[in-house]
Homo-oligomer: A and B are copies of this chain.
Amino acid sequence: MAKVSIKDVARKAGVSISTVSRVLTSSAPVSEELKKKVEEAVQELGYSPSMLARSLRHGRTKTIGFILPDISNPFFVQIVRGAEDYLWEHGYTLIFGSSDQNRKKEDTILNTLLSKHIDGLLFTGTGESNPKLLRSIQHGLNVVFLDRLIKDVNVSYVVVDNFKGITMLVDYLVDTGHRNFIFINGDKNTFSAKQRHDAFISKMREYGLQHEHHYASFSYDAGYEFGKNITKSLPDAILCGNDLIAFGLLDALEEKGVRIPDDVSVTGYDDIPFSKYYKPALTTVHQPTYEMGKTAAEILLKLINGEMTTIEGIVLEPELVVRESTRRK
């Protein structure tokens, strides 16, 4: 495509390539006369410098990698958007890969990203440990973990306070008269599911309430499945590990003639854009996804530019959103 190189510009302007470079990067003084010549040549030739060559020279690619479970998941896509906006604004470009919650794929993506010399990595892992990643971090790769942590790893991260989210949810439900609970959680090995599990159990014990907890997966189908198979009498409230699970559950229950929220209250987690429009509109815990992505990108650039040398862990605040899928018992 851009076949025209710095040499062509130099020739056209009748100067050396170093002069061209100096004009372009304003890295050293150049006489007005030559400067003008160069600028004209650049214009006429439609020259634009090769980031590739620059990267090779500088060892910095102005490219950030983002490994995440699935770009098409509404929860992650807003995070990506937050990161994308911030990074583009600051002259960085984003390469991403979806791991589909598959450790092997996660590895492949990481290898490719490393061989492309990314300047930094935003990482939402499958949850399993990743020795290759750890090694890269020790060798100086700048990484910010997003939404999910890997235990025993000391890196910067941006997460939302799961404990607080569950606490607000349970407190609200207890306040409104709910006394026994089922929690349909997401994938067992993920950081988020584990944290929400711990928070849930802890709150149940605190109040001495009757409860059940099940790990499933963070999907509509998991919720639907659960709803279909539920036979015993319903609890006062069913908490779901995320909104998708809640949608599936809601649909399955509705097909059985269960009325929501009259017969049972149902809650989600995440507050993805659609939860507001669902019928019934979903009571859920809002996570500031766009902000998560943006914040993580911000930290990452600081790390890269050496403006920050310590590990920073940001814990964002969730927000309880009460809508129509719950009611006072």
Interface residues in chain A, defined as those with a beta carbon under 8 Å from any beta carbon in chain B: 1-3, 46, 48-53, 55-56, 61, 63, 70-72, 74, 77-78, 80-81, 84-85, 88, 93-98, 108-109, 111-117, 135-136, 139-141, 220, 247, 251, 274, 277-279
In the complex, are the beta carbons of A247 and B277 less than 8 A apart?
A: yes
Interchain CA distance A135-B47 in the complex, whole Å = 13
Number of copies of this protein chain within its complex: 2
Interchain CA distance A49-B141 in the complex, whole Å = 17
In the complex, are the beta carbons of A2 and B56 less than 8 A apart?
A: no
Cβ of A83 to closest chain B Cβ, rounded Å? 11
Give which listed residue, B52, B63, B77, B88, contacts A97 with CB less than 8 A.
B88
Interchain CA distance A55-B116 in the complex, whole Å = 9
Cβ of A29 to closest chain B Cβ, rounded Å? 25
Contacts A56-B52, A279-B279 known; A97 to B116 CB distance under 8 Å?
no
In the complex, are the beta carbons of B95 and A46 less than 8 A apart?
A: no
14 intermolecular pairs with C-beta atoms under 8 Å apart: A1-B140, A46-B135, A50-B56, A50-B117, A51-B115, A51-B116, A52-B55, A53-B56, A63-B95, A71-B77, A84-B97, A84-B98, A88-B112, A220-B277
In the complex, are the beta carbons of B98 and A48 less than 8 A apart?
A: no
Note all chain B residues with C-beta closer than 8 A to A251. 277
Contacts A95-B95, A115-B50, A277-B247 known; A80 to B88 CB distance under 8 Å?
no
Interchain CA distance A46-B84 in the complex, whole Å = 31
Contacts A74-B74, A112-B93, A115-B2 known; A81 to B98 CB distance under 8 Å?
yes
Interchain CA distance A139-B1 in the complex, whole Å = 6
Interchain CA distance A98-B93 in the complex, whole Å = 11
In the complex, are the beta carbons of B88 and A81 less than 8 A apart?
A: no
Beyond known contacts A46-B135, A70-B81, A94-B96: 14 more, CB 8 A cutoff? A1-B139, A1-B140, A2-B139, A3-B139, A48-B111, A50-B56, A52-B61, A63-B116, A71-B77, A72-B77, A72-B81, A85-B98, A88-B109, A94-B97
